[in-house]
A = this chain, B = another copy of it.
Amino acid sequence: MAEQTTTYPKTPANTVNRYKHQATYDAERIHTIINTTPVLHVSFIPDPSDPMPTILPMIGQMGLYPGDSSTGDSAQKCYLHGYVSSRLMNLAYTPTGLALCIAATKVDGFVLSLTPNTHNYNYRSAVLQGHASIVDDDAEKLWAMELITNAVVPGRYAHTRVPPDGAEMQSTRILKMRISSASGKVREGCPEDERKDLKRENVLDSVWTGVVPVYERLGEPVAGPYNRVPGVPAHVSEFVSGENEKRERYASDAARKAAPLKRPKKNED
């Protein structure tokens, strides 16, 4: 029986060794990074005799299927949708499942400081490791399809032609990963330079330092050639305007915060 902890355990596999103060093991924070990143990068080893990994871009969401929680399993899983090749299928059908690593990274700003070495990004990243299997149960598959569709645009599933028919159910493959290890890393704040450069008047007088905020922006929706619905429905237009406001504010706020190393340290080991 797997229990959802509020923090993931620190193990040799996930412990962040550099800039520890930027690391997080908080489950909610890690899940939010995964859930708000439109493309997850999913790595696995196609051929166990060849130590060369591959990466597939996939769409994914954290979720707890009611059928799992009813058995007392309260651990959120990562559900993935994308092209599942027959090779990947066969690998995922082994008893232990397929070993996967999933990464999500959001760039929030370019941090331009006095020297190339102190340049940085404001960003949020999360890495999960675990084992994945194909979802066979139709009820769970339908639940995951709705979860993943609504992750792209909230409420979208109910505004489409559903339920999927037999052929669509057949052709859709959902991977479900049980998480064995997870960590996140967040950098926000203004530039920070070393004391040796902060004492150089000529450097301070000539190098502009600051942050260029970066965020994913959603443009004006463009109706397709066979669209017959007039205007843009509220579930799309409200999502676009709400997200744009939220994302711009996050990046802009992150650019204005104090530098991470100068903040009071909490929970640092």
A179 interface hit (Cβ, 8 Å): no
CA distance A153 to B110 in the complex (A): 9
Name the residue of chain B whose CB is nearest to the CB of A152. Answer: B110
Name the residue of chain B whose CB is nearest to the CB of A59. Answer: B121
A residues neighboring B (CB under 8 Å): 13, 17-19, 38-39, 41, 43-46, 48, 51-57, 59, 83, 85, 99-103, 105, 107, 109-110, 112-117, 119, 121, 123, 125, 127, 129, 145-146, 149, 152-153, 156-157, 159-162, 164, 168, 171-172, 190-191, 193, 197-198, 200, 203-229, 232-233, 236, 240, 248, 251-252, 255-256
CB neighbours (8 Å) of A229 from chain B are 205-209
Q: Are B219 and A248 in contact (CB under 8 A)?
A: yes
CA distance A54 to B38 in the complex (A): 20
CB neighbours (8 Å) of A211 from chain B are 221-222, 224
Q: Are A149 and B119 in contact (CB under 8 A)?
A: yes
